[in-house]
Amino acid sequence: MKRHAVGCIVPAASVAAGIALALGPARAEVPSVYGVWLTQEQSAHVELWSCEAQGRGPVCGRLVELIDPTGPDDEPVAPEDLVDFRNPDPALRGRKILGMVFLYDFKPTSDPDAFEDGSVYNAEDGKTYRANIALQPDGRLRLRGYVGIPLFGRSEIWTRVR
């Protein structure tokens, strides 16, 4: 038992639990790459999560919302009906875009919010690129897709939705 200045007696376990509760929310607010992000073109929401249990690395990404998608004829299409029509593999051209995992196989770096040597599938051209992702100091996320080395590629900045 521990005596506090106000004269009440509090078990030590209660003090430890109180400290853990006090520290818990602050720890939960630490920025992370995990969450839902709005793409730079504001065309989709992407969910990033840990997919280590599935053997695909510490980070995977899937499309959870499509904003005003168009089909092969550039006509509007319902998000749940959009398929991967540009995929070079004919067997995959009918798969749904919504829910599709398109970021995977990243490796951790010394920075807990930066990952490298992953893959990003681009449904807009049907190609898969190497990729790096990193949380930026302003809380946004940078995705860099490239061919060969990161110098030859393109970056996008995503904004957190939740």
Could you report the per-residue pLDDT of 120-156, keeping only the tens digit for each? 999 999 999 999 999 999 999 999 999 988 888 999 9
Q: Please name each of the domains of the chain with its CATH number.
A: 1-30 (no CATH), 31-160 (2.40.128.520)
106 vs 68: CA distance, rounded Å: 29
Tell me the pLDDT tens digit for each residue of 24-76: 444 345 569 999 999 999 999 999 999 999 889 999 999 999 999 999 999 99
Q: Give the whole-angstrom CA distance, residue 63 versus residue 46.
A: 5
Top-confidence residue, 119 or 25:
119
Q: Where are the beta strands (DSSP E) in 30-149?
A: 35-38, 44-49, 60-66, 101-104, 107-108, 114-122, 127-135, 141-146
Residue 95 has pLDDT above 60, yes or no: yes
pTM metric for this prediction: 0.79
Q: Which residues are paired to 101 by β-bridges?
A: 62
Residue 13 CA from chain centroid, whole number: 37
Q: Which residue has the higher pLDDT, 23 or 112?
A: 112
